[in-house]
Structures are given as structure tokens and as C-alpha cells.
Structure 1
Amino acid sequence: MTVHVDGPRNERRDGRRHGNRPPSRGLRALALTGLVTAAATVVAYAAGLGPFADADGPDPAAEAQARAFLADWSANRLPSAAARTTRPGTAQEVLDSFTDGLDIEGPEFTTAGPVENGDGTVTVPFTARMPVTGLGIWSYRSALPLREQDDGSWKVDWTLSLIHPRLSGTAKFRLEREEARSVEATDRHGALLSADRHPSLSPVLAHLGGVGPRGAVHLVDRVTGEVERTETTFGKNRDLTAGKPVRTTLDADWQAAAERALAARARGRNAALVALRVDDGEILALANSPASGFNRAASGTYAPGSTWKIVTTSALLLKDAVAPGDIVNCPKYLTVGKRFQNVETSHHPGATFRTDFTESCNTAFISLRDRLGDGELGEVARTYFGVGQEWHIGVPSYDGSVPVPQDETEKAASMIGQGRIQANPLIMASVTATAVSGTFHQPSLIEGAEDTTRTTSLPREVVGQLRALLRATVTDGTAQVLAGLPGGVGAKTGTAEVSDDQDNNGWLVAHRGDVAVACVVEEGVTGGGSAGPVVRELLATMPQSSAG
């Protein structure tokens, strides 16, 4: 359940915040809302439970404490997580050794509903996704026991088995790695690709065609080291190389330009960029900063912020719930359980929906939430944009999540790409390509990639409206950082709240000709100010007709 306070602020046209005060942050958090990026914790947290929580059942404070514990763990705030338990010293020692010993970076958690036990304790089940560096995801289920304290507060009742059901005083986990096989690859024109020439492809080439690093997590006896069972293995995918270089859809020129743009404009922050062809989904560039390690461009899990308004707008247009010329007021604030807000000086009385889109007005979009059913946004994302279906692009990827909102506050947040909605640059580049073409094409990195997706094309009228709105955002709205580029560029900015102690992530998606691009800059504050310069650098470098 997700509650947001002071929702994400609209983008200024110059990509900066209004006013001289330090940026206030929304989505104040005590609770984990869903998935967190494996490279850096990107998750919205809830301040308590939603205003529509059932009065019966377990004490909401117990669930809030459980989610806060998982939120701290996912964000590597281990002392804070340990302090929420009945044995802080032991808890911190175990959390440290578990994460470091298994090379886990950025664990991700999803909670289920709390269960009240007969003895007055509460149990909160959860699913863990543990990204093991360089290998893949280890998923399992566990549960947090919570016990009420003498002062009426709740704490996680510490036991080794809450970390993993089979972790005990006699058994622990051990990670074993096998030496990775080298993979030769070429771009779409036959040019050789390598991590030396294109450093950002290092995490991509390591898994290309299913020939990635191999390894396993074993449960072993703490004294003898004898393996009791194998919990998970990595690297068992089929080998597509057949003794010759893997031919990819990448374009060496686009890849090099993407890496240069990140190096020049991301200012050393974690960032990722994807460029793909609109007409067939073939990936031209997939770049990460830093260049080695986690492939955040395809496997990251981020709240997409206002770039998600492309999907929200599609859902509204599909059912004639709004038209671009309709008046949809854009007030400074709107309270739905908690207060959502725009930039302090950003409000547009009497604004049309077109203005709401181009100025990225959060309150206007949230005010339209009753025109969509609770599960309708997710259904549109899946049916028309392929988000949440299983993609087979040629390397491991995260393919998005749009859960049904658990209350009205979370539904409001979902309208603007927050709550538990999760995406990454690969997904948002694909969303942009689908919006401007009308047809979803599964993104692909290798020729002949399996495609099990099933989608429906957007109506031509909706596509025309989306294209016009994206173009107007460049000419008149928050994406004017791209103004002046040739080729009729269309775009959408996004600012995604993360947590109380992190700056917002900056997003920008764009299309020109047959190319769609998406970029995220972690803690970039605004989309126009951080991701915007990266995308502009890329499009200014590459000729309009060089889409492969």
C-alpha cells in the first residue's frame, strides 16, 4: 500500500526548479512500495498506511514497521534496518555478511498482506529479488515476524530465518562462480563490438545470446562447508553463438554516440540510455554509466515519473475520457489521502489537457483518476504497450510492472508514474516508439529473438493525438531543451520521486524519425535539466537518416 506526500513537481521549461529554496522531496516514506532498482535503490515509500485501510485486522503500525525494515534493507541503510528489530546488533551483523558474502547489490522486495497470529504477533510475507552482481536474480519468499513492545510500538522479532527460510545457526549460503566465457559480437553492419571499444556494453556482452557468467548459490553446513542443497543457478541459457560472432541489432555509431553523450552530460551520475528503431523495435544503442557492472538500461527498476503520462494519456484517450482541448484545471495542490503538488509557482487555472501534458501537470492528471478503472492503466500498458509481458530481447531484462492500486492514494500516484509502477529506459523507449507508431514491437538485441508477446495496435486517431502532444512538449512545454533540433522531435520529460534522502531521478523520452530514445539520470533532480542534455547531445550528433 502506498501513500505519497507532496507528489513530484512539474518540470520547468529550462529543467530547473522554481524558487531558491532547496528542493523539498515527496513520497515521504516509511514503507516499501514495490521493486527497487538493482543498481541503486529506486523506490517510493509510504508514510503510514493509506486512508482507506481496513479498520479491522492487524495493527497497521506492524505492517508499516515491516515495510520500513525492508525499505531500509533495500536502500542499504542497514543500521536503520537493524534498529527496527528486537536484536539490533546481531541483525546488522547478519545483514552485512549476507549482502556482502553473496555479492548482492540493491535487493528488491514486494510485500503481501499482513497476517495476525493467535498469539498477538503479526507476520508480513514478502518476496525477495536479490541481484547477484554479474550473474542474475535470486528470487525467494520469506516472512517478517513482528511483536508488539511494552511501549505499544512494533519491532521485527529477529531470527535468522526471516532473511531466508533456510538460513540457520547450522547452515549458511555460499556463492560460487564459474569463469565467464568470452563472446564475440558484431553490430547490425558487421562491425566488431567489444567492451574495449564500447565499455558501456560490458554488462551486455557478458550475457549476450545466453552465454553469460555462470554460478550458483548453495546452502552449506557452517562447520564442514558441505553443500546441503543448491538454491539457485545462473547461466544455464542456451548458447546461440555456434562458434561464430553473435550478430546484434546494435549500431556501432549510435552506441558510441550514446556513450559519449552519457560521459559528457550525465556529470558522473548513474545513468542509462536506450535508442531503438520505431518500426521494428531493434535496439541501436544500449548504454550504461558507469560502464561496467549492472545493466540498468535493460534490467533496472525505476519509477518512470511523468514519462508514464504517455501511457496514462493513451488510456484516457482510448475511452474518450478526455480530449486535448478539454479544460482540466491544474491547481498547485491536490489532496488524495495525502497532498500532491506541482512546483510552488506552477499552476494553470483553466488549462486545457494539452497544456497539462506539455507542462506535465501532476494535479490535473490525478484529478482524472476516476475516469479510469482501478486496473485499467495496467491493462492498457500490457495490451497496447506490452509492458509486463515477458520479453526475450537477447539478454536478461526487466519488462515492467503496473500493479492494481491498493487504495485511492496509490491510484493517484500511478496516474503520474509513481506508486508501484516500475520501468527502465528500455521499456520507456519502447513505450515512446509504440505511442508514435501505434504498434508495439518487442525490443530485440539479436536477430531471431523469441517473441511471445501479444498486443493490440492503438487507434490511428489516438496515435495522431499522442504525436501532437509530444511535439508540443518540445515546442511549448517542459522539453524545450530539445527545441531547435531538426527532424520534428517529440518528447516527454519526467521527474520521479525516490525517497526522503535521495534527489529525484530525471527522465526524458524522445522520438525523431524512426528512432525512439529514453534516458534516466539517477538523482538528476529534473528530467529537462539532467536527462535532457544527454538526449540532446545524442540527437545532435547523429544524422536523422542513420537509424540503421
Structure 2
Amino acid sequence: MSARARAVRAVLALGLAAPLLTGCFEEPSPHEAVRDFLLGWQSGDYAAAARRADGDPATVRRALEDVRLQLDAASIRFSIKDIAHDGDDGRADFHAEVDLGENNPLWQYDGLLPLHLVGGEWKVRWSPSVIHPDLHAGQRLAVATVPVGRKPILDRDGNPLQDETPLQVAGVKPAKIKDPGRLCEELSRVTGFAQDRLLGRILSSPPQDFVALATFGRNKYQQIKDKLAAIPGLEIVTDNPPVAPKSPVQIVGRVTAITAEAEQQLGGPQRAGDTIGRDGLQRAYQDQLTGSTETRIVILDSKTWQQVKELKAWPGRQNTEVRTTIDSRMQSAGDDAVRGSRPAALVAVQASTGEILAVSTSELNQEKDALAGKFAPGTAFSIIAAHGLLKGGLDPEQKVPCSADRTVGGARFQQPGILGLVAPSFQTDFAQGCVTALASLARRINGPALASSAAEFGIGTGWRLPLRSFSGSVPGAGDDAAVAKVIAGQSARVSPLSMALVAAAVDSGTWRPPVLVLSPEQPVTTSEPSARPAPGPVALDATVTGRLRTLMRAGVSSGSAHAATAPGGTVYGVASQVTQTDKKQRRTLSWFVGWQGDVAVAVMAESGDPGTAATMAGSFFRDSNVQP
């Protein structure tokens, strides 16, 4: 019978089909020898595998165990591709899949088990090439990694929005460590990092390379530096990644060294950049800023540690800078404008693009409050109400009394300090922010018309930003009282960002969704849960917006927003004051919403002075040198 006729071939997955093989073949047959060897190796029963090899059992056991350690493998799985024998000699071709652990690739390769009969029993002819065809005596496997430093977040002009900050990196050169197990035990005790993961990183790395094991910020390092210094063989080096955020701090976000808790979530004691974004854009763009580590499987000379051959390489994902729309000069002007002891927020956008130029706060959070806060806008909401009223045919010169007290549909409205304006025009009422006059127009517009105007200004639509935001909400208004409360800005809720975009829409004639990041693109967070597609630009009625601009110019030139006046250009806007009560918290808010040139702003301050926000806006326009 020919050798080909005598060959028995099988293709099976060991983890699934091995139990079916028991009893299927009787010795002498190579199948059980191949099965037992690969199953023992796969399951970690190295003694069982060694019994099926012709080498020294202790040598075989140690070699197979070392492979898992040298690769820091989470698992190794095999499948038999082919088994053939002719007389006393045979061979088995197998396929190996090595899981290199979380955040690492799957290494696959084909191997060969040479077989021969020894005393009537099939054995694997042992040599290092059983592990991998290219591995020979005096050599070992290793996993070489090339970490990538964290990239910066930039402003619109390419300037970094963070400073370099020294971090302390604890690591080792494996070739210098006499007892890596003990070192990892002590480091684990001090840091909380998993001992087995620390050890796996050391044993799998090229012995001559510096292996980073843990990174510490200044405070954490000061707390444990004496304990770290007491660990023999542990080295401390300093890294200076760009991680200390500049203004706007909460938009840029903070970065921290990976902690033991974060390590459990991310996998492995080390990750590209060795830092993790805690909040802001640093968190939203973590993967883009850090990329992924380049990984290579290599064969090293066991004595010189020189690389003999590269078996496989994964280049990793390239990291990239994140370029924002923030204008650092305007950001500084915004910070100066709101600086003080009272809670305040200022958002500036480019009217022609929707790009966010500055997000400044005092005692408020830039993301949670300036972008995503839910505040009553008061008569600043009259911009939207006026849009609906003008579309419905209201003449800005129509006389609308401004009284100190007025009841509309059972809802009471009060306007202090406007006594004597018996029969002003709607334009004057708008400019002065007369809540009683504006509320009295509830019968000139209904709830759906108000909601339609609000939607044209992006209120209640689903924005898409990499950070949380709130586009605003308008409650259903089924009667005159409810409509009056919407017009007066008492029941509607907005964020400073949403109102800055309202001003931008009146200025440019088109409402545009906000933009915070110019590059790269990434999945983004909607302003509120919604199945609706992201909104696009909305062109507004040119005639109506023209009249709105006239109204908002009067708000600064002769109305309650006069404090926003700034040299170098004409300022348009409205000011308002409203008392908001939410969850037993009562606060009085001062608003300014308007623009100068191509820069639209919304300012909100907690203040009993209705002109506070307008004063802050004027300071911003003056210091930022906005061009008309």
C-alpha cells in the first residue's frame, strides 16, 4: 500500500471535537498522540503534553509554559489541519490562535508536529520548532510594543489647549530583574495593579527594553514614592505628556494616569499613552488622542537578546490631534468678562458657521451648565416669540401697553420699574423687555406657532456634539396663560449655548447647529435622546429676520441691554431678568443675548441686577476686539 493510501487525514477543532476521538483509533495511531499533546498545551496541562513527546519531560513542560509567559497569552487554541504517517514516521499540521490579551490582536500561525514511533508508541519529535517553525535552540519568543505618546487638543489656530505635565513612570528592564515575581508582588501591594498582569508584561517583553508598568501623577507619586524606592530593580523615569488643561478647562478635560481601577476596565497594566481622559474632550476623544500600541511578535537570541526574526507585526491605530473651534483670544476675553464671585456663563459662537469660539464660566461648569444647562431665559426668549408674532403679521409699531401688573388667562405677570410707559410700541416693549406687554400678546399667537418658531431656531432639536448639550425645550401651550408664560420665557428652558445660536441665527439669517471640533470626526453625543436625524442649517425668513435685527439693535441703543455697548462696532441684543424656581431652589437670572460683527453671545449671570449679563457682554466685545 502506498504512503498516500496509508495516510489518514483529519480536520478538527480540538476544543470541540477532541472528546469524539476517544476510542475512535487504536494504537499504533498518531491521532491520540497529536490530540493529547495539543490539548495538554492548550489547556495548560503541560505534563500531559510532555508525555506525548520524546524529549526530557521537564524540558518540554518548561518550554511550553514559557511560551504562554513569553507571549503573555490569555489563551492558545489549536485545530488539526492534517495528519499523515508512513511507516514509523509521520507529521501533523496544525493551526494556532494565540489571544495576546485585552486590547491586543489575535496572532495566528501554522505549525508542524514531526512524529515517530518510539517503542510502539507515537511521540512528537521534540525541538523548539514544535512551538513555531522558525524557533530554534537558544532562542525565545517575545512581544515587543511601541507605545505612542498622547496627542494634544488644539484651538482653532493650532495652539495647544494644555500644558505639559510631569508624570512619574515606574518600570523595569527585565534582564536586570532577578526575581520578577517578587517585584510584581510588592508593586501590586503598593499600587493595587494586578500582580499577574504586571508579571506577564515583564516576562513577555524583550529583556533589554524598558517596560513601563504604572504611571503616577504628582500627588499620588508623593504619597507612595518611598515605598516604590524600596522595591529592588524598579526604575522611575519622568514623562511630560500634554495633559494639564488650559481654558476652557472643563471643555478640554482632565487627564489622569491609569489607576488600578481603570486598568481593570481597559485591560492590561499599560495602554498607549498610559493616560486616560477623565472628562471633556479628553474623554470623548480618548481613542483618537492615544491611538493604539504597535505590537510585534519577535524571536530573540536567548543570550544576547538581539532580535533574530520578526514573526508578525500590527502597526496599531495612529493617534491624532484634536482640533477645536475655540478661539483662545476670545476665550480669555470671556473668562475675564465673567470672572467674579457670582455664578455666570458666557458662550460665544461664530454666527456664520455655528462654531463655538468661547465657553467661559464662573462658579458654573462649562459643559454641564454652559452647554447643557436648563435655565429659564426670561424675556430673552422674546426673540423667538417676536419671530412668530412678526410672521403672523404683527406690526412692530403697534401700540402695546406696558403696565406694572397684568393677568393673562389667569396667569399674573409683573414688570417693576416701567411705570409711565402707557402706550409704547411693540418695538419699545421688546427693547425694554416689558414682560407684561409681551405676555399680553398671547392671543396673537398659539402654542403650535410658538413651537414652530422655536424649532426654526434649533430649540428642542437633536444636536450632535462630542460633549453633552441641551438645545432647549418649549412646553405645550394650550391656553392663553400657557402661551403667555412661554412668550415671557418662564416655562421654556434653554442653555446659554442654545441662546447664543439663536442670536447667531438672527445675525446671519440662518440657524446652524453648533460645532466644537473641526477634526477628526467621531461618534458624537446628541443634545438629548432622540431618534431624529441631526438637524442641518435652517434658512430664516429674510423679511422677519430683518425686523428682528431692528428690534435687537433698539435693545442695545435705547433699551435694557444698553450696558452691552462696546466700541469698534454695533452691538445688537436683548437683556432680561427672570426668577427661576426648580426643586425648591430659587435663583434670579440676568441674561444678555446678542451679537457684534460675526460673533454671537449669550451671557447668563445669577444676579439681582438685570444689567449684569449685558455688562459682561460689553466687556467681552471690548476685550476680544470683535470686528464689525
TM-score, length-normalised on structure 1? 0.57
- The one-letter code sitting in structure 2 at the alignment partner of 1:430 is L
* Aligned with 2:250 (options 193, 196, 203): 203
Matched with 1:436 is 507
| Aligned equivalents of 1:487, 1:459: Cα separation in 2 | 25
Alignment of 1:221-232 (within 5 A): none
| Aligned equivalents of 2:502, 2:445: Cα separation in 1 | 19
Query: Per chain length, whose mean CA-contact separation is higher, i.e. which structure has more relative contact order (CA < 8 Å, sep 6+)?
Result: 1
- Structure (1/2) with the larger helix percentage: 2
Does structure 2 conserve the Cα–Cα contact (< 8 Å) formed by 1:307 and 1:508? yes
| Aligned equivalents of 2:366, 2:498: Cα separation in 1 | 20
Does structure 2 conserve the Cα–Cα contact (< 8 Å) formed by 1:254 and 1:285? yes
- The one-letter code sitting in structure 2 at the alignment partner of 1:475 is S
- Cα separation, partners in 2 of 1:256 and 1:372, compared to 1, 3 Å: same
RMSD, aligned α-carbons: 2.9
Matched with 1:341 is 414
SS of the residue 2:503 aligns to:
helix
- Cα separation, partners in 2 of 1:399 and 1:495, compared to 1, 3 Å: same
- The one-letter code sitting in structure 2 at the alignment partner of 1:444 is V
| Aligned equivalents of 1:401, 1:476: Cα separation in 2 | 30
Matched with 1:505 is 589
Does structure 2 conserve the Cα–Cα contact (< 8 Å) formed by 1:332 and 1:347? no
- Structure 1 residues without counterparts, runs of 5 or longer: 1-180, 209-213, 216-234
Does structure 1 conserve the Cα–Cα contact (< 8 Å) formed by 2:245 and 2:253? no
| Aligned equivalents of 2:476, 2:449: Cα separation in 1 | 8
Does structure 2 conserve the Cα–Cα contact (< 8 Å) formed by 1:503 and 1:525? no
Matched with 1:398 is 470
Q: Quote how far apart the aligned CAs of 1:427 are.
A: 0.5
- Structure 2 residues without counterparts, runs of 5 or longer: 1-148, 164-242, 256-260, 263-282, 290-317, 525-532
Matched with 1:445 is 516
- Cα separation, partners in 2 of 1:407 and 1:513, compared to 1, 3 Å: same
- Cα separation, partners in 2 of 1:183 and 1:271, compared to 1, 3 Å: farther
Matched with 1:324 is 396
Does structure 1 conserve the Cα–Cα contact (< 8 Å) formed by 2:578 and 2:590? yes
Matched with 1:417 is 489
Larger radius of gyration: 2
Per-residue CA deviation, residues 103-150 of structure 1 (Å, 9 max, x unaligned), is xxxxxxxxxxxxxxxxxxxxxxxxxxxxxxxxxxxxxxxxxxxxxxxx
| Aligned equivalents of 1:402, 1:340: Cα separation in 2 | 19
Matched with 1:458 is 540
| Aligned equivalents of 1:183, 1:381: Cα separation in 2 | 40
Matched with 1:520 is 604
Matched with 1:288 is 361
Matched with 1:375 is 448
Per-residue CA deviation, residues 53-102 of structure 1 (Å, 9 max, x unaligned), is xxxxxxxxxxxxxxxxxxxxxxxxxxxxxxxxxxxxxxxxxxxxxxxxxx
- Cα separation, partners in 2 of 1:201 and 1:310, compared to 1, 3 Å: same
Q: Quote how far apart the aligned CAs of 1:182 are.
A: 7.7
- Cα separation, partners in 2 of 1:278 and 1:207, compared to 1, 3 Å: farther
Matched, 1:537 2:619: yes
| Aligned equivalents of 1:347, 1:330: Cα separation in 2 | 8
| Aligned equivalents of 1:442, 1:293: Cα separation in 2 | 18
Matched, 1:300 2:383: no
Does structure 2 conserve the Cα–Cα contact (< 8 Å) formed by 1:301 and 1:422? yes
| Aligned equivalents of 1:474, 1:202: Cα separation in 2 | 32
Does structure 2 conserve the Cα–Cα contact (< 8 Å) formed by 1:207 and 1:396? no
Does structure 2 conserve the Cα–Cα contact (< 8 Å) formed by 1:391 and 1:399? yes
- The one-letter code sitting in structure 2 at the alignment partner of 1:467 is R
Sequence identity of aligned pairs in percent? 31
Alignment of 1:88-107 (within 5 A): none
SS of the residue 2:412 aligns to:
strand
Matched with 1:28 is none
- Structure (1/2) with the larger strand percentage: 2
- Cα separation, partners in 2 of 1:428 and 1:198, compared to 1, 3 Å: farther
SS of the residue 1:281 aligns to:
coil
Matched with 1:243 is 319
- Cα separation, partners in 2 of 1:332 and 1:292, compared to 1, 3 Å: closer
SS of the residue 2:511 aligns to:
coil
Matched with 1:190 is 158
Which range is displaced more, 460-469 or 401-410?
A: 401-410
| Aligned equivalents of 1:182, 1:201: Cα separation in 2 | 19
Matched, 1:273 2:355: no
| Aligned equivalents of 1:200, 1:355: Cα separation in 2 | 39
Per-residue CA deviation, residues 322-354 of structure 1 (Å, 9 max, x unaligned), is 111111122221112132111154352121111
| Aligned equivalents of 1:455, 1:413: Cα separation in 2 | 28
Does structure 1 conserve the Cα–Cα contact (< 8 Å) formed by 2:345 and 2:361? yes
| Number of residue pairs aligned between Structure 1 and Structure 2 | 335
SS of the residue 1:452 aligns to:
coil
| Aligned equivalents of 1:437, 1:293: Cα separation in 2 | 25
| Aligned equivalents of 1:302, 1:401: Cα separation in 2 | 10
Which range is displaced more, 397-406 or 422-431?
A: 397-406
Does structure 1 conserve the Cα–Cα contact (< 8 Å) formed by 2:161 and 2:246? no
Matched with 1:168 is none
Q: Quote how far apart the aligned CAs of 1:527 are.
A: 3.5
| Aligned equivalents of 1:268, 1:406: Cα separation in 2 | 41
Q: Quote how far apart the aligned CAs of 1:545 are.
A: 2.9
- The one-letter code sitting in structure 1 at the alignment partner of 2:507 is V
- The one-letter code sitting in structure 1 at the alignment partner of 2:327 is D
- Cα separation, partners in 2 of 1:345 and 1:361, compared to 1, 3 Å: closer
* Aligned with 2:551 (options 437, 454, 469): 469
Matched with 2:562 is 480
- The one-letter code sitting in structure 2 at the alignment partner of 1:193 is L
Per-residue CA deviation, residues 184-204 of structure 1 (Å, 9 max, x unaligned), is 310011011028986552221
Does structure 2 conserve the Cα–Cα contact (< 8 Å) formed by 1:199 and 1:292? no
Does structure 1 conserve the Cα–Cα contact (< 8 Å) formed by 2:348 and 2:599? yes
Q: Quote how far apart the aligned CAs of 1:183 are.
A: 7.2
* Aligned with 1:385 (options 454, 457, 463): 457
Alignment of 1:17-166 (within 5 A): none
